[in-house]
Amino acid sequence: MIYFKEAELVVPGQLLSDNGRRSGPGTYTMNGKVYAAQAGIAKAVEGVVRVIPVSGRYRPERGDKVLGIVSDIKPNVVEVDLGGDIKAVLRMSERESPPLKLTLGDVIQAEVKSAGLRGIFLDLEGLQKVKAGILVNVNPAKVPRLIGRKGSMIQMLKRETGCDFWVGRNGLVVVSGRSPASEFAAIAAINLIEREAHKQGLTERVTQLIKTLLEGG
């Protein structure tokens, strides 16, 4: 049995389900029941109960795709600003050089190779430079909603605006479009998703906003 309404705001320790096997991200089990481990929006997705935080600082995890700004270049080490006072590094051996010609201020997309007490290290493999676009900062807790289930929301944004998107799990997003009007519509849509991530019918409202802005432009 479920003890919350869909998209209900819940608090830590709140009972969510009497079936411990339904425990998902943001929850914990005790005595066979599921409780909220953090404040956020409760949802049941494919039989799994999860709590999506409404805000929060980015916590790097191995495998995360992130965007960052090159902030320092030293021999065999490139320092990358991930936002929110979080720094990461690209480290090369003495025989290696960056696979891309990087300069200060470049925006890159990379995967987190490791994150721990020694710091945050990015993987050289798959490293990409974002050559053009507008940089947008989104609450990291809202990034999963921006991407959508199986990428559904971000694919809709691409289709409706004609823009390209680079989305980092750390909350940095780059939008690159064919015109200022399309980029403005894309950014307005991102802002709407961030504000109303917990509300029902969001996809329809975002689609309508984009159509209104582009038709008006």
Are residue 146 and residue 208 in the same domain, yes or no?
yes
Are residue 178 and residue 203 in the same domain, yes or no?
yes
What pLDDT is attached to residue 30?
A: 92
Average pLDDT, the chain: 89
Q: In this structure, are residues 156 and 188 in contact, taking their beta carbons and an 8 Å threshold? A: no
Are residue 138 and residue 112 in the same domain, yes or no?
no
Placement of tokens 């030293």 in the chain: 74
pLDDT above 60 (res 207): yes
Q: Is residue 57 part of a domain?
A: no
Q: Is residue 155 part of a domain?
A: yes
What pLDDT is attached to residue 5?
A: 86
Are residue 118 and residue 81 in the same domain, yes or no?
yes
Q: Is residue 76 part of a domain?
A: yes
Are residue 170 and residue 123 in the same domain, yes or no?
no
Q: Is residue 118 part of a domain?
A: yes
Q: For the chain, how are helix, strand and coil distributed in percent, rounded to 5?
A: 25, 35, 40
Share of the chain above pLDDT 70, in %: 96
Q: Is residue 110 part of a domain?
A: yes
End of a domain among 82, 109, 130? Answer: 130
End of a domain among 104, 130, 156? Answer: 130
Query: 96 lies in which domain range?
Result: 65-130
What pLDDT is attached to residue 57?
A: 79
Question: Is residue 108 helix, strand or coil?
Answer: strand
pLDDT above 90 (res 168): yes
What pLDDT is attached to residue 94?
A: 57
- CATH label of the domain that carries residue 91: 2.40.50.140
Are residue 139 and residue 210 in the same domain, yes or no?
yes
One-letter identity of residue 97 = S
- CATH label of the domain that carries residue 167: 3.30.1370.10
Q: Is residue 58 part of a domain?
A: no
Q: Is residue 59 part of a domain?
A: no
What pLDDT is attached to residue 217?
A: 53
| Average pLDDT value for residue range 82-98 | 80
Question: Is residue 202 helix, strand or coil?
Answer: helix
- Domains held by the chain: number: 3
What pLDDT is attached to residue 51?
A: 87
**pTM for this predicted structure:** 0.75
- CATH label of the domain that carries residue 29: 2.40.50.100
Tell me which residue of 107, 86, 106, 1 sits closest to 44, measured CA to CA: 1
Are residue 147 and residue 176 in the same domain, yes or no?
yes
Q: In this structure, are residues 86 and 60 in contact, taking their beta carbons and an 8 Å threshold? A: yes
Are residue 157 and residue 121 in the same domain, yes or no?
no
What pLDDT is attached to residue 135?
A: 95
What pLDDT is attached to residue 98?
A: 60
Q: Is residue 3 part of a domain?
A: no
